[in-house]
Structure 1
């Protein structure tokens, strides 16, 4: 099968196509999206750290200079929110935002959340067991990160049902060539979410509490603070990046374990393997399959010159199965030692929320292993149509 991100069969299993790309065309132009596909781990890893590429080009050139059409006017509310966070900007703006946000989002703060994350995960897993099974995604995988991030941000419990739909709708804009309907839905969701957060942030600025919005509103560095737009953009990013990937690692991961029963039994017999298993599940069926970067200066990739103004598509799912880096890469090994996967990215855009994601995933898988030790697949799942952010529609299980 060839690289075809709109083909459901490819989305369900892209790894044979990736193997062919790595072997025969590791750097190749993909006409339907106008992108250069990069398939090998060494190239992807190097480009993530290469300052000749950027997540955005707008700090270095206009749309016209890059031969691009300006974004449609109706998208302006979406990009105003997204570019106020750190994901889609470059230094020096990115450097400043990451420095400020890191003062509130510290490893110590994340580790302090572990008992609460464990309690939430245990309650969700036990609830699934008491029901005798059901959709693992909607009953466990989705509520855990939403509850954690909502509690972190200080979103009142009565409003938390709004977060998952907003997140899913916003992330639709990151798929390849999204339809007009998906674009308008993403714009609406970004407007609604930012409006909600703006009201909440103003209240917390005047009446601070023990939550992330209050911390971000108060954080300062030599007199520098986040603007209101930056605070809101950061909160949107924390929800989207910290939620979508965690849900999909959980769903994709359990589906991987059901297809590899010997590895599941190994994990059941030795839950101490969980930290390594989580890293392996992120590698073996990567939730973020592609990460896009703009070429700011001509760059040579694997002997191919990609000129300024072009976009590269870094194939994380392919890089994580590269036999040059991973021994027997198509084999799932929950005890894999040497595992330099790039599911969290690399360089300045390395995922700020990686420590929290690891805590959530280890506690989630652990809670399900304890509460439902005989968890089984009830029916073969199907994949959502999205390729860039890749996950299952549902995962029906029995206990």
Structure 2
């Protein structure tokens, strides 16, 4: 394997290969040097991991820490309003995505019963009802309409609110502030203001549930005296953010991808039984939660390279999911592909806790949308769709759509 490839100066981010594909420089790097040194904007010499096997290895090796309070995690892109990191960040209680075992294990174990496959399967009919009700709302509108605000965002928001016991009437609070929290280019004050608004809101909510628990996941957790209010807030923040932002963007960007690949839409209309495979393929192909960080706690050998202790390691799940070493014709969207083994939902101890819930929501969402709106199409040219290149979870800001016959 040749190693003669320029060292990237910062993370390549421009979607110059199209709205669904990795940046061209990322693809070139993966082919030439899947574990590549990278110079960060603050001068830190860290690493970018793009190869499928190497990404999976990073995500299972606990020497690559998820904690941000033991070493400096350097940001691989310019953040003009954010001061450069010079010391570790304080640990937010309950935020188990930024923890290692055994702390991660302790909190994650308290949630596994809430997200078992069996419990999620029991929710399937109810989720299908939520989808149908939202499709009724969509059908009552005069096109063009924005699919994000009228369908893709409400469906997972309604589901996660019900599961957690968050009043859906409060969605303005959490949708606005989680979106603000995910903006890349913002000042520290703006980011902390959004986080503060969320944690203040959630502290009031979980305190109420500890006093008067109901029949929901946060109430179940609030009954556990081992968990502090601060930990409950961190858990609630993570579940609420991840529970609606990722699925909402998959529904919207996935619809955009299908509309741009009409032959794949025909396949799904012809054979609706393909939908579970199509959901896995869309997860692989789009990888909306793409970039993750790790901190090397010691010198580590990876794919013939030595990752030095203290290095920030950036992994690209999208690049890994497009690795031709793992998937044939990886840049082709193929709803008949058996895309199991993709890393869109993570790998190792941090694999997505709500992955079964996300799959059920996407299957119900895409199935309902295709059935009820068989003539759905973009209402603007594809090049005018506003992409979420400014956000830490990728997708579209808006997806104006129209249809030519009455919805079924």
Instruction: Decide which of 209, 212, 224 is 1:207's aligned counterpart.
Output: 212
Distance in 2, matches of 1:267 and 1:18, equals 31
Answering whether residue 162 of structure 2 is matched by residue 162 of structure 1, we say: no
- 1:96 is aligned to 106
Q: SS state of the match for residue 28, structure 1? A: strand
Q: CA deviation at 1:305?
A: 0.5
> 1:11–1:387: 8 Å Cα contact kept in structure 2?
no
1 or 2 for the larger relative contact order (CA 8 Å, sep ≥6)?
Answer: 1
- 1:195 is aligned to 200
Answering whether residue 402 of structure 2 is matched by residue 398 of structure 1, we say: yes
CA shift in 2, pair 1:29/1:314, >3 Å: same
Answering whether residue 44 of structure 2 is matched by residue 27 of structure 1, we say: no
Q: SS state of the match for residue 187, structure 1? A: helix
Distance in 2, matches of 1:213 and 1:322, equals 39
Instruction: Decide which of 49, 54, 63 is 1:52's aligned counterpart.
Output: 63
Structure 2: where are the runs of 5+ without partners?
A: 1-7, 74-83, 404-408
Distance in 2, matches of 1:170 and 1:179, equals 9
> 1:36–1:313: 8 Å Cα contact kept in structure 2?
yes
Answering whether residue 135 of structure 2 is matched by residue 125 of structure 1, we say: yes
After superposition, the C-alpha distances for 1:278-297 in whole angstroms (9 at most, x for unaligned) are: 11001111101211111112
- In the TM superposition, 1:1-399 aligns within 5 A as 5-7=12-14, 9=16, 12=19, 13-33=21-41, 34=44, 35-56=46-67, 58=69, 61=70, 69-70=86-87, 80=92, 83-133=93-143, 134-172=145-183, 175=184, 178-180=185-187, 183-219=188-224, 225-379=226-380, 380=382, 381-386=385-390, 388-399=392-403
CA shift in 2, pair 1:246/1:261, >3 Å: same
> 2:160–2:240: 8 Å Cα contact kept in structure 1?
yes
CA shift in 2, pair 1:228/1:112, >3 Å: same
Q: SS state of the match for residue 360, structure 1? A: helix
Distance in 1, matches of 2:113 and 2:220, equals 9
Distance in 2, matches of 1:6 and 1:331, equals 21
> 2:71–2:310: 8 Å Cα contact kept in structure 1?
no
Q: SS state of the match for residue 126, structure 1? A: helix
> 1:126–1:371: 8 Å Cα contact kept in structure 2?
no
Number of equivalences: 378
Distance in 1, matches of 2:346 and 2:352, equals 6
Distance in 1, matches of 2:85 and 2:137, equals 51
Provide TM-score, normalisation by structure 2.
0.86
Q: CA deviation at 1:32?
A: 3.0
> 1:208–1:214: 8 Å Cα contact kept in structure 2?
yes
CA shift in 2, pair 1:273/1:108, >3 Å: same
After superposition, the C-alpha distances for 1:252-302 in whole angstroms (9 at most, x for unaligned) are: 211111111111110111111111101100111110121111111211122
After superposition, the C-alpha distances for 1:72-120 in whole angstroms (9 at most, x for unaligned) are: 8xxx6xx53xx42211111111010011122333333322222221111
CA shift in 2, pair 1:41/1:179, >3 Å: same
Deviates more, 1:208-217 or 1:224-233: 224-233
Distance in 1, matches of 2:298 and 2:213, equals 45
Deviates more, 1:381-390 or 1:207-216: 381-390
Distance in 2, matches of 1:338 and 1:6, equals 25
